[in-house]
Amino acid sequence: MNKNECKFPLNLVIAGFGGQGVLLAGKLIAEAGLHEGREVSWIPSYGPEMRGGTANCTVIISDSEIGSPVVENPDVLVIMNRPSMDKFLPSLKKDGVCIYNKSLIEGFKPRSDVKMVAVPASDLAVQMGSTKLLNMVLVGSFMANSKAFSEASLAYALKKSISAKHQDLIPLNEKAIDEGAKFIA
């Protein structure tokens, strides 16, 4: 993913606590890929507690038919908290990319055979006025790092995925996405 173009299929795991926007982040990425005419798979998974429990989702974006939606060894991880880092980092493919929220994750042993991208997502979200924006910061960082889809496709996905009663929050979410992308640039 270090190059100017994304290689497909792209297998992604996004993980964190319930309530951090893990599933919405995955849905946006899948929707952006779909908007660009790619085959996509999005599978959410969350613990029984939902808010505060563990949550993760897998996303596959491909130029061809997806044979199985199961992602055992992802190409990319987007990690929002330390327990998720401990759980998923060992499964990341060699030469893969781990984009993680360095505001909440410290004291782990990074891998030297993968690209570790530390983004102060929670800190950036707080600067914008809400910790709830951390998922959008990380989605922006993923977009800028992977080049799996365009900003326009992500903007389309955001408008399509945010419920009617929360449409007023789209500009703030777009700003958080931009901040995450700028951090990578």
Check whether 68 has a pLDDT greater than 60. Answer: yes
> Do residues 141 and 183 lie in contact, with contact meaning Cβ atoms separated by under 8 Å?
yes
Chain segment 5-60, per-residue pLDDT in tens: 799 999 999 999 988 999 999 999 999 999 999 999 999 997 665 556 789 999 99
Per DSSP, the residues of 92-124 read SPTT-EEEEETTT--S----SSSEEEEE-HHHH
- What is the CATH topology of the domain spanning 10-184? Pyruvate-ferredoxin Oxidoreductase; domain 3 (3.40.920)
Query: Could you tell me where the DSSP H helices lie in 8-133?
Result: 22-35, 82-88, 121-127
Report the predicted TM-score, pTM, of the whole model to 2 decimal places: 0.94
- Mean pLDDT value across residues 54-76: 96
Chain segment 127-151, per-residue pLDDT in tens: 999 999 999 999 999 999 999 999 9
CA 47 – CA 158 distance, rounded (Å): 25
Contacts of 123 (CB under 8 A, 6+ apart): 103
User: Residue 9, preceding bond cis, omega within 30 degrees?
Assistant: yes
Chain segment 154-179, per-residue pLDDT in tens: 999 999 999 889 899 999 999 999 99
Q: What percent of the chain has pLDDT over 90?
A: 87
From the list 13, 9, 8, 43, the residue with the least C-alpha distance to 142 is 13
119-144-174-13 Cα dihedral, nearest 10 degrees? -70
> Do residues 119 and 142 lie in contact, with contact meaning Cβ atoms separated by under 8 Å?
no
